[in-house]
Amino acid sequence: MRLGLAFLLVAALAAISLTVGVSGLSLSRLLAGDGRDWLILWESRVPRTLALLLAGASMAIAGLLMQIVIRNRFVEPSTTGTVEAAGLGLLVMTLLAPGAPVIVKMAVGAVFALGGTGLFLLVLRRVPLRDQMIVPLIGIILTGVLHAATTFFAYRADLMQTVLAWTQGDLSGVLRGRYELLWLGAAMAAVAWIAADRFTLAGLGRDMATSLGLAHGRVLALGLSIVSGVTAVVVVTVGIIPFLGLIVPNLVSLALGDNMRRAVPWVAVSGAGLVLACDILGRILRAPYEIPVGTILGVIGSLTFLILILKGRRNAA
């Protein structure tokens, strides 16, 4: 019921997103069959809105999934080396096989992302964890190292612009034919929903999961593969959207808890809605110029995140 209202709200935002942009669209001209208006709607606005919905929902789900299987509230693909590793993979492909189809580049990016996440888990295993916050801090250090490597090669190959496009979520370049890979990311996120119970169980810890007959290692691997796949898709199509995978699942968890089956629809809707709202804001604030959605979410996200941490500390005390 309340979920239905949330869907309506996102649908309204989507409708607004269709109408906001540099070139004006008018309903009457669309109805009259104006070719130029239809072209803008079909080639630019619809793809952009769909891209926002798909990227927002799947990145938020990827964040939730990662938090559940790694069992830490403060991780998401951009604080675990996953995003940077995907970027490095894409860079390697751009250098070695620039002509490869984008889906191949994406696949290589996903493999790198999985490798980066694996590296993160490996480091985690060797560090004594005295505090919840150590986990994301280790991830951020690893992210820094991977980022440095990426920057080094990109600088030498004069590809800094390209790397920036991956690391900074920006949808102003989305046109028909340039976003469809996001459907694949959404499909992977859907798998996460179908297998939700397994992931919630895996989140209870290895011993409890094993006791309930779950192959814990395999479920963990599946979960992190989904996260890596979604990340690679988003990085290669629209660029990474920071904080989304962090704040949306945390807010939903506060309200609903972590039973993943129940949380996924809410996380998807809220993620899509938040990204849509931020992108619309970015289009309006300095019109006719645009502020990338990544920047807007960076500001809103970091503030929300700070509040969450402070609130969490208070609850713990």
The residues in 97-126 that bind another protein, with binding defined as CB under 8 A, are none
Say what angle helices 82-96 and 102-126 make with each other, to 10 degrees: 140
Distances (CA, A) of 213 to 191, 200, 220: 21, 14, 14
The DSSP call for residue 215 is -
From CA 224, how far away is CA 24, in angstroms rounded? 43
From CA 82, how far away is CA 143, in angstroms rounded? 8
Nearer to another protein, 62 or 174 (CB): 62
Nearer to another protein, 225 or 259 (CB): 259
Nearer to another protein, 62 or 278 (CB): 62
Among 36, 156, 176, 261, binds another protein (CB under 8 A): 261
Give every CB contact of residue 56 below 8 A, 6+ residues apart in sequence.
241, 244, 271, 272, 273, 274, 275, 276
Residue 201 in contact with another protein, rule: CB under 8 A: yes
Least distance from C-beta 261 to another protein, angstroms? Answer: 7
Least distance from C-beta 315 to another protein, angstroms? Answer: 9
Tell me the number of residues near another protein by CB under 8 A.
26
Nearer to another protein, 34 or 258 (CB): 258
Among 24, 173, 205, 217, binds another protein (CB under 8 A): 205
Longest pairwise C-alpha distance within the chain: 67
Residue 210 in contact with another protein, rule: CB under 8 A: yes
Least distance from C-beta 246 to another protein, angstroms? Answer: 15
Least distance from C-beta 219 to another protein, angstroms? Answer: 11
Nearest to 271 by CA among 243, 299, 311, 237: 243
From CA 266, how far away is CA 155, in angstroms rounded? 41
Least distance from C-beta 308 to another protein, angstroms? Answer: 14
Nearer to another protein, 180 or 258 (CB): 258
Nearer to another protein, 36 or 218 (CB): 218
Least distance from C-beta 8 to another protein, angstroms? Answer: 27
The one-letter amino acid code at 25 reads L
Among 59, 61, 64, 73, binds another protein (CB under 8 A): 73
Nearer to another protein, 11 or 215 (CB): 215
| Residue located via tokens 């509040």 | 307
Residue 213 in contact with another protein, rule: CB under 8 A: yes
Question: Residues 274-313, buried b or exposed e (16+ Cβ, 10 A)?
Answer: bbbbbbbebbeeeeeebbbbbbbbbebbeebbeebeeeee
Nearer to another protein, 187 or 204 (CB): 204
Residue 8 in contact with another protein, rule: CB under 8 A: no
Among 26, 95, 197, 289, binds another protein (CB under 8 A): 197
Residue 144 in contact with another protein, rule: CB under 8 A: no
CB 273 within 8 A of CB 258: no
Residue 79 in contact with another protein, rule: CB under 8 A: no
Query: In the numeric block, which tokens belong to residue 230?
Result: 């979604």
CB 175 within 8 A of CB 43: yes
From CA 112, how far away is CA 83, in angstroms rounded? 9
Among 151, 225, 259, 295, binds another protein (CB under 8 A): 259
Q: Which residues bind another protein (CB under 8 A)?
A: 68, 71-73, 196-198, 200-201, 203-208, 210-215, 253, 257-259, 261
